[in-house]
Amino acid sequence: MKRAGLLLAISLIVASCATMQPQGQELVARAVQAMGGAETLAGVKTLSVKGTVRQWEPEQSMVPGGEMRFACESTFEAVSDVGTNATRIDWVRNFAYPAPRTFTFSEIVTPDAGYVAGIDSNGRTKQSLDSNPPAHAMSGLRLATSQRELRRGSSLLSLEMLKNPDRVSSAGAVTVGGVSYPAVDYRAGDQTMTVLFDPATGLPARIRTLDYDNIWGDVTYDLVLADWKAMDGLRVATSRKYELNGRTVIDIKITDGKVNAPIAAERLTIPAAFKTGAPKPATGPVPYQWVIRRQFIGTYLDSDAPSYDTRATSGLRLEERAPGVQHVVGGSHHSLIVEMRDYLIVFDAPVSDGHSKWVLNAARTKYPGKPVRFLVLTHHHMDHAGGVRAFAAQGATIIVGQGAGEHFRRVLAAPFKRNPDLGARDLTATPIAEVGDKRLFNDGTREVGAYVIENPHATGLMIGYVADARLGFVTDIWSPGAGPLPDKLNPNLAALVTGVKKAGISPARFAGGTARWPTMRRSRRSKGNSSSRGTDHGPGLRSQRSARADCRTGAPGPP
Ligand SMILES: [Zn+2]
């Protein structure tokens, strides 16, 4: 009897072991083995890869909530030195959006500084503009983001995890697409990555971070690894796709890889002039999605304030365009605050809720006792609407173009626990009003309009108009300063001219929703120009002159 009981106990233990899945560090060890073994991985001193990248931006779609915009197609060559943890990537990036152009540049990322040689963005910083040839030190935000993504994509991540068992913990099983993956959490700095393993091969299949997206709130951001191939004894995932909330936004193909090819030291060296004073990697709430995805479309402003260049300006500020009309400038994106008798109207909520809180605070100080009753969003793109929640939270009605209502209802219903600028709350009761054709706000003191115009940039896009000031507000379809005036109007400018005519309005000037540095200088010349506000006699001479200046840079001027 005794013996039978012992056998039963042993068989129960054996049975439970047989059904037990590998967990935690066992999963990591299995992955290391599947990638070539600890010895092979530890023998990697340098890694050189070539490949191609395609990117899509979901929040620059033509239709609100519609198909993602194809943004960019690139080739790259990356070299990494394992000992110094330095990586260089040489890029040729062919952008399709917002305008076709090619940027050829190099990035060097080291543990304590980042560097960009060449022009990588239309949103250039002062340091990039001042340097000849163009170059700049990465902001701390970009450096932290680059480091996170290099670590996530590294073929040696599993080895790093194996060496740091105290930072690895079991994450149980994570189900994606109906498949259950055993997973671990790996803590690196203040970041946690969840690594999901292929139950069949043991290889890492998906590496997840929980990010904040300024439109969709709390999102998953996954690197999906596939098509493993042996390269000099190391198994490398040659297909790497990034999924944002389940949609593929980056598709990387590794076409070539070499282990331990020599790398000349100077290729990984940041020039002293840029290394000195270069920001350290940012910690805390890094806006990873903003930093990553503004680079998709070649418009990232590489600064430690996401919406303005800390080396060029002291920050956001108000400029009065007409009595009771403040243009929020100093940043990459602008809003317009219009004073009514008892309340305020704000056009656009760019970048983030942090940016919006600055605007709300400035509006409160400038116009005490007048709440922002209406937020007019010219269009749904992430750079102009990413601060919508802060306005909704303080009770504004959101005014959107035809077809965008349902999109913004879903946006405001999305959870946003990871929003660094605004505490989680229920915004589902926020009033949202769609504008079919035009919406006029008239309280007997002044008339302000929002007009939907047909255009190639975004369906339902609206322009604003303050009638007494003959001041328009336009975003994205007018790009003054982007180059010499074309012989004929480009489709965006033509759309604006047609839209203004159709609306029956007669703007003498436009305030822009996006910074174009040369135009900002022009705008400043007309600062405080009281004659530019509408009078019975129409715009003053100086206003006409400033309108002509705008025409030279592509503005339609008065129709
Ligand atoms: Zn846009």
The per-residue pLDDT for range 302-361, each reduced to its tens digit, is 999 999 999 998 899 999 999 999 999 999 999 999 999 999 999 999 999 999 999 999
What are the b/e assignments for 492-513, b being 16+ CB within 10 Å? bbebbbbbbeebebbbbbbbbb
* The residue count for the chain: 559
- What's the gap in Å between 475 CA and the centre of ligand 1? 7
Decide: pTM greater than 0.85: yes
Task: Say how many Å lie between the CA of residue 458 and the centre of ligand 1.
Answer: 7
Residue 234: per-residue pLDDT: 96
For the record, the structure tokens of 495 come out as 């759309």
Q: Tell me the CA–centroid distance for residue 179 and ligand 1, in Å.
A: 37
C-alpha 534 to ligand 1 mean position (Å)? 29
pLDDT of residue 21: 67
* pLDDT band with cut points at 50, 70 and 90 for residue 7: low
**C-alpha 314 to ligand 1 mean position (Å):** 26
- pLDDT, residue 347, reads 98
DSSP class of residue 60 equals G
388 alpha carbon – ligand 1 mean position (Å):
15
CA of 380 to the centre of ligand 1 (A): 7
pLDDT digits (tens, 9 = 90+) for 247-286: 999 999 999 999 999 999 999 999 999 999 999 999 999 9
Q: What is the DSSP string of 2-47?
A: HHHHHHHHHHHHHHHHHHPPP-THHHHHHHHHHTT-HHHHHT--EE
CA 97 – ligand 1 centroid, Å:
10
CA 510 to centroid of ligand 1, rounded, Å: 17
Interval between CA 529 and ligand 1 midpoint (Å): 29
> Rounded to the nearest whole angstrom, what is the distance from the C-alpha of residue 164 to the centroid of ligand 1?
44
Ligand 1 centre and the CA of 513: distance in Å?
A: 10
Could you tell me if residue 33 is left (phi over 0), alpha (psi between -120 and 50 degrees) or otherwise beta?
alpha
> Measured in angstroms, how far is the CA atom of residue 379 from the centroid of ligand 1?
7
How does pLDDT run across 33-49, given as a tens digit for each residue? 999 999 999 999 999 99
What is the whole-number distance in angstroms between the Cα of residue 521 and the centre of ligand 1?
A: 22
- What DSSP line would sit under 480-518, residue for residue? TTSSSPPSS--HHHHHHHHHHHHHT---SEEEESB--HH
Distance from residue 454's CA to the centre of ligand 1 (Å): 14
How far, in Å, from the CA of 476 to the mean position of ligand 1?
A: 5
Which pLDDT score, from 0 to 100, does residue 476 have?
Answer: 92
pLDDT at site 525: 34
